[in-house]
Amino acid sequence: MPRACVRPGRGIHRYLLPVLMPTPVSTDCLLAFASELAYRIEPNPDHPRAAPHIPRSAPHYDDVIVGEPTCFLRGEDKIDAAFVAEMPDDTVVVSFRGTLPPFGAPFWSWVEDWLEDFDIDPVPWTVAGQPYGRVEHGFDRAVLELWNDIQGVGPLTTDDSAFAEGEEELTLGDERRTLRGGIRHALLHGGIDWSTKTGILVTGHSKGAAATYLAASLIRGEPDLADVPVRVACFASPYTCDAAFLQAYTEAGLEDATVRYQNVDDLVPFVPNYLISLPLRLARWLDPTSTASTKATWTWRYVTIGHLRVITRACDIREGTGAYWRALLRIVVDLLTLQVGRIADAHSLVYDPDASHPTGRYTTAVCRASAPEPVRLGAEAGVVSR
């Protein structure tokens, strides 16, 4: 029987069918769908130089996307992905793909993606040339790969009629090359009529969730987008940034416009600060070849970003410090009792009928009518646009 939520009942667990999506659909529900669509980005098989795309047959495509999205596949083995699209509610969504799943992706691409996730050392982050704290190195690299323009290896030819959106020829001395725009190019030069838009929504799941904070800071740092409200809603976000980043993020008006959803039994929201990274950092600290500066780097502390909403096994949503500590206690118990399957399935964004434990609580809970109202955009929320 399909199952997403678990409710106790007379000594047994009663598995419930995923709750039907209410009408009208909440913004956060649509952003959960957008996070799912980021996993559907694929290269164009007919035109290798063409932009990647999302099949129109993908679930919830028409609920989220108006027209054609601008999609990106970058990084080594194309492990970093995102798309920019206009939404039916006159907003623009920037959605980042999470870590590639172990099945359905090339093996070495999956390995590269996980190695990028575990590149946990902090590096400086800058926005508009100004220091913005420190962030996890793997996430820093992924976001900049997708944000920046990149130069191609050669000029366009007559056979490249279906080249990527934002790709153009440029001349470097005697050499003709191509320039392919990134997310920044899509937002500023992708034909979006900002006079008709009410804001930018940034979303993602897992690694994609970590990318949302960095992307939001870059968007807010663009002078041409300074008056456009920015909001973040992400799912299963790992620790990403330090206290200095959080301070700058708050001063930019983004902390009050950020919400992160965390599922109980999901391990990812507790790394890299906890659990997996602590033994690694201890081993490095005890390494006699380590210098004082490298020890300081390895003990760097990341902090959480945004307003936390914890999803229970019953698909209810809880907020506040108490909800966080209950989620931490739950994951500790899961680890001590070796509930590997439960932990893995809890990280799933959408329902999987083949999973051994309930999955899809992120989408199911957020799309319930009882879910909390999303953080509002712009002046309604007192968000400062600068």
pLDDT in tens, the chain (386 residues): 335 665 544 333 333 334 334 345 689 999 999 999 999 999 877 765 677 899 999 999 999 999 999 999 887 777 889 999 999 999 999 999 987 665 554 443 434 434 444 556 788 999 999 999 999 888 888 899 899 876 554 444 434 433 444 444 444 444 444 556 789 999 998 889 999 999 999 999 999 999 999 999 999 999 999 999 999 999 999 988 989 999 999 999 999 999 999 998 888 888 776 544 555 556 655 666 655 555 555 555 788 899 999 998 888 888 888 888 888 888 888 888 887 778 878 888 876 655 555 557 788 888 874 445 555 554 444 333 33
Report how far Cα 44 is from the mean position of its chain's Cα atoms: 23
User: Strand order of the sheet with strand 258-263?
Assistant: 66-74, 80-86, 91-96, 199-205, 230-235, 258-263, 307-311, 317-319
Range of the domain at 342: 19-148+183-270+304-379
Residue 163 inside a domain? The answer is no
Residue 9 inside a domain? The answer is no
Domain CATH number, residue 204: 3.40.50.1820
C-alpha 310/C-alpha 357 separation (Å) is 18
Residue 217 inside a domain? The answer is yes
Residue 326 inside a domain? The answer is yes
C-alpha 95/C-alpha 84 separation (Å) is 7
Residue 375 inside a domain? The answer is yes
Residue 287 inside a domain? The answer is no
For residue 101, whether the previous peptide bond is cis, meaning omega lies within 30 degrees of 0, is: no
Of 118, 184, 103, the closest CA to residue 145 belongs to 184
Report how far Cα 182 is from the mean position of its chain's Cα atoms: 16
Residue 157 inside a domain? The answer is no
* DSSP 8-state secondary structure symbol assigned to residue 373: P
Report the number of distinct structural domains present in the chain: 1
C-alpha dihedral (278, 283, 284, 287), degrees to nearest 10: 160
Residue 241 inside a domain? The answer is yes
* Matching residue, tokens 């001395």: 173
